[in-house]
Amino acid sequence: MNKHLVLVCLLILSIGTASAIAQEIKDRSGTVMTGGVAPDFTLTSSAGRSVTLSKVGAPVVLVFYRGYWCPYCVRQLSELRTLLSSADKAQLFAISIDPPEKSIELASKIAKDGKGNVTFTFLSDPGYKIISAYGLVDPAYEGKGIYGIPHPAVYILDKKRKVVWSKIESDYKNRPTNLEIRAELDKIR
């Protein structure tokens, strides 16, 4: 009888552990990886609206960028204007520690190239809580007064927040192309 009770308890414990692992898959450094469920968040957009990831109800492209001052980020965000079409049901959110007013300036700067306005939403994570939750804080900035800057990263989430694709860069100069992102986004249609 006791052996059966122990086996049942072990079975329940292992099912619970497997379920927890399936919920959030992270690598050894704590970075959210493909196959897991993306941590939920509520952040303020540059337009002053709250955005809650779990309430979007559509596929999402999350782009974590270093900041308005980074030329590689500006180039990437400029190119991302053409990633989604009006027919797409997906949404794109660009996340950094920048305050909303810096994101507004960045969107305006990008639009001045004559290739159109930025149509996606900038989200501000000034306390880098979400950047930390995704395991993206770049330790190179520790002690420099600007801690919380993320490694550049792109996540594609299905409408239930499952991470179906991710690309995290250790070299801030490297970014996935729109073609790469689009190919992965098309797989979840």
41: number of Cβ within 10 Å: 19
Q: What angle do CA 135, 151, 126 make, to 5 degrees?
A: 75
Q: Is 9 a catalytic residue?
A: no
SS3 81: helix
What's the token pair of residue 96?
Answer: 């950094």
- The count of C-alpha atoms lying within 13 angstroms of the C-alpha of 121, restricted to the half-sphere facing its C-beta, is 21
What's the token pair of residue 20?
Answer: 């927890």
Catalytic residue among 32, 60, 62, 73: 73
DSSP, residue by residue, 18-76: HHHHHH--B-TT--B-TTSBPPP-EEEETTS-EEEGGG--S-EEEEE---TT-HHHHHH
Residues annotated catalytic, as ranges: 73
